[in-house]
């Protein structure tokens, strides 16, 4: 007797579950989104030239480091400019 009640309860739960899942998929009205695109200037997306290393000693490598740092700083400045363009697009 107890087995029959458990079986009936299981059948009811199995029949209710798909119904609940299907009602969860009801469509909501689609609302259009306006996207404002701000073009990024080509100057900011140009590749940053890598300074060539022509040295042969450790002392030459030490002199090469500031050129590499300058190249990285230029890349960071370009990224900051792109970020500011993106941020102004979000606030409008």
Percent of the chain topping pLDDT 90: 22
Residue 74 falls within a domain, yes or no? yes
Question: Which residue segment(s) compose the domain that 79 sits in?
Answer: 42-92
- Side-chain-facing half-sphere of 68: CA atoms under 13 Å: 8
Residue 53 falls within a domain, yes or no? yes
Is 0.95 topped by the overall pTM?
A: no
Instruction: Tell me how many domains the chain contains.
Output: 1
Closest CA to 53 of 71, 43, 68: 68
Task: Round to whole Å and give the CA distance between 25 and 23.
Answer: 5
- pLDDT, one tens digit per residue, over 3-34 is 677 778 777 777 777 776 666 666 677 788 88
Residue 84 falls within a domain, yes or no? yes
Q: How many CB atoms lie within 10 A of CB 85?
A: 14
Q: Which residues contact 71 (CB under 8 A, 6 or more apart)?
A: 48, 49, 50, 51
Residue 89 falls within a domain, yes or no? yes
Residue 3 falls within a domain, yes or no? no
Residue 91 falls within a domain, yes or no? yes
Task: Round to whole Å and give the CA distance between 35 and 22.
Answer: 32
Residue 6 falls within a domain, yes or no? no
Residue 57 falls within a domain, yes or no? yes
């Amino acid at each position: 007797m107890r087995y029959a009640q458990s079986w009936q309860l299981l059948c009811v739960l199995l029949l209710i579950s798909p119904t609940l899942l299907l009602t969860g998929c009801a469509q909501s009205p689609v609302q259009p989104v306006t996207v404002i695109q701000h073009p990024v200037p080509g100057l900011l997306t140009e590749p940053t030239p890598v300074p060539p290393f022509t040295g042969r000693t450790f002392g030459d490598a030490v002199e090469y480091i500031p050129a590499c740092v300058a190249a990285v700083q230029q890349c960071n400045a370009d990224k900051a400019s792109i970020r500011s363009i993106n941020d102004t697009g979000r606030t409008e």
